[in-house]
Structure 1
Amino acid sequence: MKILFLSFFDPFLVETGVGAHIKGLALALDKLGCEIHILVLTSKGCCQVENRVKVYGFSRFHNYFLHLPVVNGHILPLASIGLVNKMCKEYGIDIVHGQSPSSWAYSLLRECRTPFVVTLHSTSFGEFSSYLDMSVSNVNRGVVIGALSEIFSAFLTSIEYAYADRVIAVSKAIAEDAIRYFRLPRERVTVIHNGIDLKSLVNFGFRNDEVREHVILSVGRLVWRKGFKFLIDAMPHVLSEYSDAKLFLVGDGDQRRPLEQHVKKLGIDDSVYFLGRISKERLCSLYKIADIYVQPSLYEPCAITILEAMSMGKPIVATSVGGNPELITDLAEGLLVEPKNSLQLANAIICLFSDSSLKRKLGINARKKVEKEFTWEKVAEKTLELYKKMLDGV
């Protein structure tokens, strides 16, 4: 079976959640015998081969313009239509698989009747709603651009889903959003969660005994919807019980400066560390020494970072929003708390710090669950089954 993926960024070069999804799924489908082609809208140059997966660059724009949302989100998909239609005919593509909203124009203007499926990684309605309760002090240029971008994306994705043959949602929560906001028939929506490459994160095991502090780790873009402010607000409560506690925040974004200022205001500079973007090797080291992984999101479709932490045998503290409760069960692989509730976050962290046997049990359960349910091999098998149904007209 020949599959054409449409992607904004080269999943083998750019580390993003969607990129990790495309890379993991493409490689797993390749192992199942599929012929994989990936058209990258923001890359230049000819075909490159990554582990037998063929990656094609398309963009004719200068690199500066590629970072503008109006270019990579709106113009590039439209400009690429001719090439996508040509590739479908030239390579005999069986399925075109878009990653919202990179394929909105193809869904509207495709010339051939190649079956088309799109993966819904989040909804613009959910993304936008997370901005609504922000205080004025947290609003900056990045927030305004992000909010406006979500409004445009909502319009484009509504086109995409209206013309797609099938929609894959990365969680049940996202599927319900798609059915509710985009008026999609339930039978056109299939839930297939994200996966994880168990071999990509090495040195699985529990924390290094040489590390004496109580270590908390959280990974993600430093944007409002990730809820890092509420995790930072939880730290004074945690420090009152465990004065040696350290919080490591991995990632960057428009909220980094406000968050750094907030940490200084709380007087906990010595306990909270902003690490920015780091290498996979360093991230593995942090997972290794962390006692607890925390996901304080206000909106979260299906966090690959949670799956990464689970694969490293870490107990999870997460807000009960979006796809989080689908990945972890309260008191089984982690602890679930209410969103925007710093006190509950603090109490959950303190609970795990004070009960090493519970912490270890949740970590072991987390690893087992990932191995059983959330590998890319499992995701590829479910996706291939959907492809076959589409080709059979089911």
Structure 2
Amino acid sequence: MGLNIPQSHWDQSRSFLDEIDRIALHRQIDIVEGPVWNILGIAPLLSGRYPVVTSLMTTLKLSLPSRPDLTGNPETMSTFVNPLVAMEKFLISESDAILAISQGIAREIQAAYDIQIRRERLHVSHLGMPDWASGLHSIREHHAAPSIDILFVGRLEKRKGIDLLLEIAPAIVQHFPQVNFHIVGDDSIPSAKGRTYRQDFELKYPQLCGSRVNFYGKIDERSLRNRYADCDIFVAPSRFESFGLIYVEAMMFGKPLVGCDVGGIPEVVDHEVTGLLVPPDSRDHLQAALETLVSNADLRQQYGSAGRRKYEQRFSDSRMADCSVGLYQSVLMKN
């Protein structure tokens, strides 16, 4: 067909197809679903042996603004990035159906690739999760001094807005002696300056580190659950999220949220209902939102309770499964 598929991605997708074919020797395969990321479904799609559903999340093309390591290399762009972006568009255009994890990501992808996904091919199903909070309780009542703990979870990179959060954290802890920040996630990613965001902060504010602003790096799931249970406010000022599963994780623990009004985030965080949404890239709005929640315990409780209810109603794992099954049934009826 004359398709220019990067060899590494073709090998991965072909291995995926080989495993599907092996399973098909023992049981019937009705549908293959794969993410648009890494064009995993390209070999099954080209084989023509199975209906293919492609799920939409952040694509390579959408991630390029935060990938100077790719965009700054003309050869890499020509030989790797551009062919892969073209294959993303092909996969989205030719799959039997598209499963978008948010309305926001569907809009962003159609605009970025200049394509129109027909309504009958596009299905939106929000992500869901099992209830991590069940049977887990905060142990903060045993702490000697009262505090207000603000939690960030995510990779410490520009797209996640960690630079904005670390810029305003010193002013907040200076103004509110009871506030502490807890930063969880991969902190080994270099910034444009060459150092990591954690290293930059530790060099500039050594007196705050380990007491008022705490970095934990990657942690295991049990420790992460405890962090959610023990925090008072959850913040993730991402410049873009195709959905934002971290907000759902915080919601199941009944925590008020602060995020940015971009991508799929407004479909998870209801402004002034489950939390506060601010414009992306606005340090002033981000600081004001956090200070509003720090200053108002009743509002924190109100937003947190509303978030817990929304999780139960819209973001459980069983609800996500029901939506996926409905999509699969509609695809099978057409094939």
TM (norm. structure 2) is 0.85
For structure 1, the 5+ residue unaligned runs are: 1-69, 132-138
1:226 maps to which residue? Answer: 160
Change (3 A) 1:261 1:82: closer
Checking the alignment, whether the CA contact within 8 Å between 2:157 and 2:197 is kept in structure 1 is: no
Note if 1:392 corresponds to 2:333. yes
2:70 and 2:182 map into 1 onto residues whose CA distance is 23
SS at match of 2:196: helix
SS at match of 1:167: strand
Change (3 A) 1:266 1:151: farther
1:41 maps to which residue? Answer: none
Change (3 A) 1:111 1:185: closer
SS at match of 1:302: coil
Checking the alignment, whether the CA contact within 8 Å between 1:117 and 1:164 is kept in structure 2 is: yes
1:192 and 1:298 map into 2 onto residues whose CA distance is 22
Note if 1:81 corresponds to 2:17. yes
2:139 and 2:7 map into 1 onto residues whose CA distance is 44
1:293 maps to which residue? Answer: 234
Change (3 A) 1:152 1:238: farther
Change (3 A) 1:255 1:360: farther
Q: Cα RMSD (Å) of the superposition? A: 2.7
2:268 maps to which residue? Answer: 327
1:272 and 1:152 map into 2 onto residues whose CA distance is 43
1:259 and 1:191 map into 2 onto residues whose CA distance is 35
Checking the alignment, whether the CA contact within 8 Å between 2:133 and 2:225 is kept in structure 1 is: no
1:276 maps to which residue? Answer: 217
Equivalent in 333, 339, 346 of residue 287 of structure 2? 346
Q: CA deviation at 1:169?
A: 0.8
Note if 1:203 corresponds to 2:139. no
Checking the alignment, whether the CA contact within 8 Å between 1:316 and 1:335 is kept in structure 2 is: yes
Equivalent in 245, 249, 253 of residue 312 of structure 1? 253
1:369 and 1:377 map into 2 onto residues whose CA distance is 14
Q: CA deviation at 1:124?
A: 2.4
After superposition, what is the alpha-carbon deviation per residue over 1:137-171, rounded to whole angstroms, capped at 9, x for unaligned? xx6x69979x9676554233223223210011111
User: 2:157 is matched by which residue type in structure 1?
Assistant: V
Q: CA deviation at 1:218?
A: 0.8
Bigger mean CA offset, 153-162 vs 339-348:
153-162
SS at match of 2:183: strand
TM (norm. structure 1) is 0.73
Checking the alignment, whether the CA contact within 8 Å between 2:16 and 2:40 is kept in structure 1 is: no
2:132 and 2:178 map into 1 onto residues whose CA distance is 32
Equivalent in 168, 172, 182 of residue 103 of structure 2? 172
User: 1:384 is matched by which residue type in structure 2?
Assistant: V
2:184 maps to which residue? Answer: 250
Checking the alignment, whether the CA contact within 8 Å between 1:208 and 1:288 is kept in structure 2 is: no
Checking the alignment, whether the CA contact within 8 Å between 1:108 and 1:159 is kept in structure 2 is: no
User: 2:131 is matched by which residue type in structure 1?
Assistant: L
Determine what percentage of the aligned residue pairs are the same residue: 26
1:309 and 1:90 map into 2 onto residues whose CA distance is 41
Equivalent in 54, 78, 82 of residue 118 of structure 1? 54
Change (3 A) 1:249 1:152: farther
Aligned residues: 315
1:192 and 1:90 map into 2 onto residues whose CA distance is 30
Equivalent in 355, 358, 373 of residue 296 of structure 2? 355
Q: CA deviation at 1:233?
A: 0.7
1:196 and 1:74 map into 2 onto residues whose CA distance is 31
For structure 2, the 5+ residue unaligned runs are: 1-5
Q: CA deviation at 1:274?
A: 1.8
2:82 and 2:217 map into 1 onto residues whose CA distance is 28
1:158 maps to which residue? Answer: 89
1:365 and 1:207 map into 2 onto residues whose CA distance is 22
Change (3 A) 1:275 1:199: closer
Checking the alignment, whether the CA contact within 8 Å between 2:33 and 2:41 is kept in structure 1 is: no
Checking the alignment, whether the CA contact within 8 Å between 1:206 and 1:314 is kept in structure 2 is: no
